[in-house]
Structure 1
Amino acid sequence: MKQRPAPQPILITDASRSQDDQLTSRQKRYVLMMGIRVACLVVGAILVGAKVPLLWLWLPLCILGMVLIPWLAVLLANDRPPKEQHRLAGKFQSRQRDDTPPMALPTEEHPHKVIDAEP
């Protein structure tokens, strides 16, 4: 009796993160970035109220942060890791690339027999 090869174990480290974990991390990143945006608004208001030196430098930086951060936050919140191809899809693609069938013999080793109907 021929023994079957043992099945390959599934490595837990190769498993992708669950949808809920991905969503939670994107939500945390979004809230953090929006918190930075609020901080830019508060710092800008304090700078204007205190009339600090170099206000012409600090205020545009705060405004730039208030304008760019929401755009980046939305982009990063909607970003997901790319979907992995199905495991079987890779096997079918590799077979399609190889033009020879898996059990075919080369033509030199297996000559064709010609049967003629007329003697």
Structure 2
Amino acid sequence: MKRQAHQPTLITDAARSQDEQLRSRQVRYIVMMSIRAACLIVGAILVSVNAPLLWLWLPLCAVGMILIPWLAVMLANDGPPKEKHRLSRTHRQGAAPMALPSQPTGRAPGRTIDPEP
């Protein structure tokens, strides 16, 4: 009798738990929103001190204040990639359509009841 080669499961191949994924997304969101707040504060300071090259720094701060919240929400709602076997079930090739026949096979046609006498 031939033994099958058993590949041990590596801990690095295991998926992260839902709580761990949620926690990492929350931390990433807080860090990105803190960067946005820093852009707002730096922009206000640059305007108040009338810094040189204000025409360059102020649009950069504005872009940071506009794009970072959008990216933070997109990344916070992002989950792990789908598994390959879950995707393959939805796109079966050569599968029969899942529709009922127009009339049951091997039976007489059904009665139609007219609501009008």
Q: How many Å apart are 1:12 and its aligned residue?
A: 1.9
Q: Which AA in structure 2 matches 1:62? A: C
Partner of 1:43: 42
Partner of 1:109: none
Partner of 1:32: 31
Partner of 2:96: none
> What is the TM-score of this pair, normalised by structure 2?
0.66
Q: How many Å apart are 1:83 and its aligned residue?
A: 2.3
Q: How is 1:5-20 mapped onto 2 (pairs within 5 angstroms)?
A: 5=4, 7-20=6-19
Partner of 2:66: 67
Q: How many Å apart are 1:9 and its aligned residue?
A: 3.0
Are residues 1:79 and 2:78 paired? Answer: yes
Q: Which AA in structure 2 matches 1:11? A: L
Q: How many Å apart are 1:82 and its aligned residue?
A: 1.1
Q: How many Å apart are 1:6 and its aligned residue?
A: 6.7
In 1, the alpha carbon distance for the partners of 2:30 and 2:55 equals 29
> Closer, same or farther in 2 for the Cα pair 1:6/1:54, shift >3 Å?
closer
Between the aligned residues of both structures, percent identity stands at: 70
Partner of 2:57: 58
State the superposition RMSD in angstroms: 2.6
In 1, the alpha carbon distance for the partners of 2:10 and 2:42 equals 49
> What is the TM-score of this pair, normalised by structure 1?
0.65
In 1, the alpha carbon distance for the partners of 2:55 and 2:4 equals 73
Q: How many Å apart are 1:5 and its aligned residue?
A: 4.0
Q: How many Å apart are 1:3 and its aligned residue?
A: 6.9
Q: Which AA in structure 2 matches 1:51? A: N
